[in-house]
Every structure is written in structure tokens, then in C-alpha cells.
């Protein structure tokens, strides 16, 4: 049976490797933290398996790589891609650092744990009817759910500009996003056209990669690729 979705463009979600705060569960927005040795190993392992010529993420088939400006994301890109591939992509203008895919701006909650945030909000007289939900309530002094929605929607428009005319593989135009746990999961919600407060439980391990695409070769039918077929000769 032929693959009815063969050639459809994909969007790869590449989460940065483990940092001290991500390991401890602390909310890390703009704070610059390096990858832990374990985090570097996570990225090197996934990169070795799936990034490279003839592999799942083939640099020669990429239209663009969007990277969060945070150092942990840039380090992840640097580790995952071979030097010559990075040089070629950058020379061709296919690499962009952008706040559009930066981590959620946590504001007053930067560096805190979830239970600490809930306790702080209780002290401030918040959440009397419902417990804090970042997808609905956002962050004091940081970003609201609508602000995150707006910048992610803008990035999705950028991605569509590369992919909309190539739904049947007319031109290789895969996209890679190198970013963070919250922003990438938020991106999935907006990709699927769900409101940010839509209940959709997702997991993305440090150094892990997720994949999005389109159903029926239709840019108006965004989809999650639940199972991935790997290249073969």
C-alpha cells in the first residue's frame, strides 16, 4: 500500500538537553544555564541517531532551522548538527535565532518550583476558585497565554510560507525548531489550532525530538506524526 502522506513537509521539535534547573524542576525562562554533561550526552545521542545526510533530519532537506536565543538551545543545535552542515545552513541563510520560539516568560516565577508558585499565588490572594494553570493563567510579571499564542502563531505563519506550496514534496522543506519544554508543547497546541488552555497532556524529554506534519497533503490539516518511518536505502 503506498504511503498517502509521503513527501509531506515535517516540523521537527528538538528540545535542549538537561540543565541544572530542568533537572530540578525549576521554571527556566530567560535565565542562562549551560547544559549539564548529561544534557550534552542526550543531545549527542539523539543527534547521532537522527541528524545527518540520509537520516531522519537530513540537513540537505531543510528549509530552515529556528532556534531560541537562549544559550542552552544554541548549544543543543551546535551539538546535534555536524560542523560542515551548520556552516552550509548558516551560509545559505537557513538558521534564525528568534524569540518567537523562546521559552515561556515566567516573570515572577523564574527559578521556582510548581508548589512554590502555587503558594506564592495563594499569598497574593489568587486562585480562590481554581488552582493555577499556566496554560490559562500565564505568569505574573511574565507572559500571558495570549502573548505566547501570538508569537507562536506568527512563527507558524513563517513556517507555512516555506511549506504551503510544497505539500506533495515538490521541494524539500522540512523545518527544525530547537527550543524548550514549555514553548515546544505550546507550539504543538497552536499547530493543531487548539487554544492554549485546551487540555492536552504532552511529554518531551530533554534532548528529545517530536515531529509534526500535515494530513492529506493539506496545509489546513495540521497533524502530529504519532509514528515515524525512518529512511532506508
Residue 28 annotated as part of some ligand binding site: yes
Contacts with 98 (C-beta within 8 Å, 6 or more apart), sequence order: 66, 67, 68, 69, 155
What the block records as the C-alpha cell of 217 is: 497533503
Under the phi-then-psi rule, with left for phi > 0, alpha for psi from -120 to 50, and beta for the rest, what region is 182?
A: alpha
Catalytic annotation present for 64: no
Residue 106 annotated as part of some ligand binding site: yes
Distances (CA, A) of 3 to 7, 8, 54, 196: 9, 10, 19, 32
Catalytic annotation present for 92: no
Element (H, E) at 213: strand 209-214
Residue 232 annotated as part of some ligand binding site: no
Distance CA 89, CA 98 (A): 16
Give the β-pairing of 209-214 and 222-224: antiparallel
Residue 27 annotated as part of some ligand binding site: no
Residue 103 annotated as part of some ligand binding site: yes
Catalytic residue among 75, 103, 180, 182: 103
Residue 29 annotated as part of some ligand binding site: yes
Please report the beta strands in 130-182, taking only residues with DSSP state E, as ranges in sequence order: 174-179
Residue 229 annotated as part of some ligand binding site: no
Which class for 186: exposed (0-12), middle (13-18), buried (19 or more C-beta within 10 A)?
buried
**From the annotation, which residues make up the binding site for substrate?**
28-29, 72, 103-106
**From the annotation, which residues make up the binding site?**
28-29, 72, 103-106
Instruction: Please give the positions annotated as active site.
Output: 16, 103
Amino acid at each position: 500500500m503506498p504511503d498517502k502522506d509521503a513527501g509531506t513537509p515535517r516540523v521537527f521539535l528538538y528540545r535542549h538537553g538537561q540543565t541544572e534547573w530542568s533537572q530540578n524542576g525549576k521554571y527556566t525562562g530567560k535565565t542562562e544555564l549551560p547544559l549539564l554533561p548529561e544534557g550534552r550526552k542526550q543531545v549527542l545521542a539523539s543527534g547521532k541517531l537522527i541528524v545527518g545526510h540520509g537520516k531522519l533530519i537530513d540537513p540537505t532537506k531543510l528549509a530552515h532551522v529556528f532556534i531560541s536565543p537562549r544559550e542552552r538551545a544554541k548549544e543543543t543545535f551546535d551539538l546535534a548538527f555536524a560542523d560542515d552542515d551548520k556552516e552550509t545552513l548558516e551560509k545559505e541563510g537557513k538558521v534564525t535565532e528568534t524569540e518567537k520560539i523562546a521559552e515561556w516568560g515566567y516573570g515572577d516565577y523564574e527559578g521556582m518550583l510548581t508548589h512554590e508558585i502555587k503558594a506564592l499565588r495563594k499569598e497574593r490572594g489568587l486562585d480562590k476558585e481554581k488552582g493555577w494553570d499556566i496554560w490559562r493563567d500565564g505568569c505574573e510579571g511574565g507572559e500571558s497565554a495570549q502573548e505566547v499564542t501570538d508569537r507562536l502563531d506568527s512563527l507558524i505563519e513563517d513556517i507555512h510560507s516555506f511549506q504551503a506550496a510544497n505539500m506533495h514534496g515538490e521541494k524539500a522543506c522540512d523545518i527544525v525548531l530547537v527550543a524548550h519544554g514549555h514553548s515546544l508543547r505550546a507550539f504543538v497546541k497552536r499547530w493543531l489550532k487548539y487554544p492554549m488552555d485546551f487540555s492536552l497532556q504532552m511529554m518531551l524529554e530533554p534532548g528529545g525530538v517530536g515531529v509534526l506534519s500535515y494530513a492529506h497533503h493539506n496545509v489546513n490539516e495540521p497533524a502530529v506524526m504519532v509514528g515515524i518511518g525512518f529512511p532506508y536505502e
